[in-house]
Amino acid sequence: QWYQRRVRGFDMDLSVKPYKSLQQHKKAIRHVCFHPRYPLYASSSDDCSTIVTHGMVYNDMVKNPLVVPVKVLRGHKETSKYGVLSNVFHSQQPWVYTGGADGEIWLFV
């Protein structure tokens, strides 16, 4: 399998190795986006899920970064072995829009 199922977090000031590696999806990750205002990111996958995760990096180097999955969003149907292809956060609200291979766009509030 050549695709990646892990989301990795890096601190480029400390190391070139990831400080956190999360395998939350069962199939290939197609898209990851970050919220412009909140410490959230969303990853979408061919397993027809989008996972919203809270990720916080502190200025204090003694504190470890906080990475906590918040919600698993489902609704898209698998089409030709593809699931959720894209996601984007609303600019002001913690809402997620997702687009899938099934030709649908979903808004999760």
Instruction: Encode pLDDT of 8-57 as tens digits.
Output: 665 666 677 766 667 778 898 899 999 999 999 999 999 999 999 998 87
What local confidence, expressed as pLDDT, does residue 47 receive?
A: 93
- The conformational region for residue 75 under phi > 0 = left, psi -120 to 50 = alpha, else beta, is left
What local confidence, expressed as pLDDT, does residue 74 receive?
A: 94
CA distances from 77 to 85, 98, 103, 105 (A): 11, 12, 9, 11
Q: Is the dihedral of CA 52, 99, 6, 9 positive or negative?
A: negative
> Quick check: helix, strand or coil at residue 48?
coil
What local confidence, expressed as pLDDT, does residue 68 receive?
A: 87
β-pair type (105-108, 49-56): unpaired
Answer yes or no: is pLDDT of 77 > 60.
Answer: yes
